[in-house]
Amino acid sequence: MGSDMAVNAESIQSVLFVGLGNMGNPMARNLVASGFNVTVADLDPARVDALVHAGATAATSLTSAAESADVVMTSLPGPTQVDAVGEQLLSTLKAGSIWIELSTNDLDCGRRLESRADEAGVFLLDAPVTGGAEGAEAGTLSVLVGGDPDAHRRVLPILQAIGDRCDRLGPFGAGYVAKIASVSLCYTHSVCLTEALLLGVKGGVEPARMLDVIQHSTGRSYVADRYGPEILNGGYDDTFALELAAKDLRLAVEMAGSLDADLPFTAGVLDLYRSTLDTYGAEAPHLIAMQAIERANDLVLHERQLATPEGATQ
What is the per-residue pLDDT for 309?
62
CA dihedral sign of residues 256, 257, 263, 269? positive
What is the per-residue pLDDT for 11?
53
Statement: residue 133 has pLDDT above 80 = yes
What confidence tier does 311 reach under pLDDT thresholds 50, 70, 90?
very low
Please indicate, yes or no, whether residues 154 and 22 belong to a single structural domain of this protein: yes
Could you say which of 124, 143, 172 is where a domain stops? 172
* Of 94, 179, 202, 247, catalytic: 179
Could you say which of 172, 197, 228 is where a domain stops? 172
Residue 261's domain comprises 179-306
> In the predicted model, what is the mean pLDDT of the chain?
93
Please indicate, yes or no, whether residues 54 and 159 belong to a single structural domain of this protein: yes
CB atoms within 10 A of CB 154: 21
Please indicate, yes or no, whether residues 134 and 272 belong to a single structural domain of this protein: no
Distance CA 158, CA 276 (A): 38
pLDDT tens column, 160-212: 999 999 989 999 999 999 999 999 999 999 999 999 999 999 999 999 999 99
Could you tell me which residues are beta bridge partners of residue 74?
18, 101
Could you say which of 145, 172, 199 is where a domain stops? 172
What is the per-residue pLDDT for 306?
85
The answer to whether 147 and 124 have CB atoms below 8 angstroms apart is: yes
What is the per-residue pLDDT for 313?
43
pLDDT tens column, 267-280: 999 999 999 999 99
Please state the length of the chain: 314
CATH number of the domain within which 26 lies: 3.40.50.720
Average pLDDT over residues 221-246: 96
Does residue 100 form part of some domain?
A: yes
Could you tell me which residues are beta bridge partners of residue 123?
98
Residue 94 catalytic?
Answer: no
pLDDT tens column, 31-54: 999 999 999 999 999 999 999 999
